[in-house]
Chain A
Amino acid sequence: MSGIIGRKIGMTSVYGADGRNVACTVIEAGPCVITQVKNEETDGYNAVQLAYGERKEKRTPQALLGHFKKADTTPKSKVVEFRDFRLEFEGGIELGKEVSVQDVFEEGDFLDVKGVSKGKGFQGVVKRHGFGGVGQATHGQHNRLRAPGSIGAASYPARVFKGMKMAGQTGNKSVKVTNLKVMKILADENLILVSGSVPGAKNSYLILEK
């Protein structure tokens, strides 16, 4: 699996080759720096660690400063490990090498995008799970409009089953959307346009995987 780290910019639309107008998300992807190369002998598995985004030196812990210094780069804000990173590079995968979006993806490729969805706070079942609420609004109904209804039977099983859909924290969790198409790559601006929407707010970090 190869990939790259990016930042969500926003959405627009693009006309495909067949003349259809496709909604797509603009992502600033890379350039990332290879900060660590793991291999079978020393670490037990093959992986490549990429770093993306600038970070103030005085806001970086000493341990991380040393880690970035090893790769001969400035401190970065987001570090992600990609297992079994496949990339045909000139000179192969090397510490300190820069990875750009056009090294990993081509137009027409399909990719997965991982991000942290927008947080909605503690929400009821109507918003969180799409429940319909209970009954009618009139005919003496009171207080039950957005209620979950029954959550189980009585003396048997005498408990509430695990995983019962209830109210709780909504959003602000890791979400992956799969099979998005690369509509366009603007290499000069480090931008990539993928079809459809991706999780998270503007400027939030995204992990693009192939």
Chain B
Amino acid sequence: MSELIIKKVEELVNADAKQHPDFKSGDTVNVHVRISEGGKERIQQFQGTVIQRKGKGTNGETFTVRKVSNGIGIERIFPFLSPNLDKIEVLKRGKVRRAKLYYLRGRQGKSARIKEKI
């Protein structure tokens, strides 16, 4: 009973949340994040490969985007339903065989590529 009420509450609370396109791990995305600094607001972009999506179906769903910048791997975790996410662009659909692409962390260069889904 109480689980049903909580489900309903989550639906109501997220009713006005932003709709984002569906993407999976392996896809290349460009995330537009709203950042407010000193009363001013600007939009920062973060482009990379999605290496995981966690907590699907809950309020706290997150996804991790990985990119390699100047030879240093950078991973950023975004809350999927966050009001600070302005836009998510899906640039490429990747063909991968697992949901969590942690193996990318140990690789660089040619072996770190992901085949594109056609």
Contacts and interface: CB of A to CB of B under 8 A. Distances in A.
Interface string A168-210: 0000000000000000101001010100000000110000000
B59 A14 contact: yes
Interface in B1-52: 2-3, 5-6, 8-10, 12-13, 17, 34
B90 interface: no
Given A14-B13, A14-B59, A21-B60, A9 B5 contact: yes
A203 B2 contact: yes
Contact of B83 (A11, A19, A186): A19
A14 B6 CA distance: 12
B82 interface: yes
Contacts of B64: none
A13 B9 contact: no
A26 interface: yes
A10 B82 contact: no
B79 A26 contact: no
A12 interface: yes
Given A9-B5, A15-B81, 18 more contacts: A9-B6, A9-B9, A10-B3, A10-B6, A12-B6, A12-B10, A12-B59, A15-B17, A15-B82, A19-B82, A21-B59, A21-B60, A26-B6, A189-B5, A189-B8, A189-B9, A193-B9, A203-B2
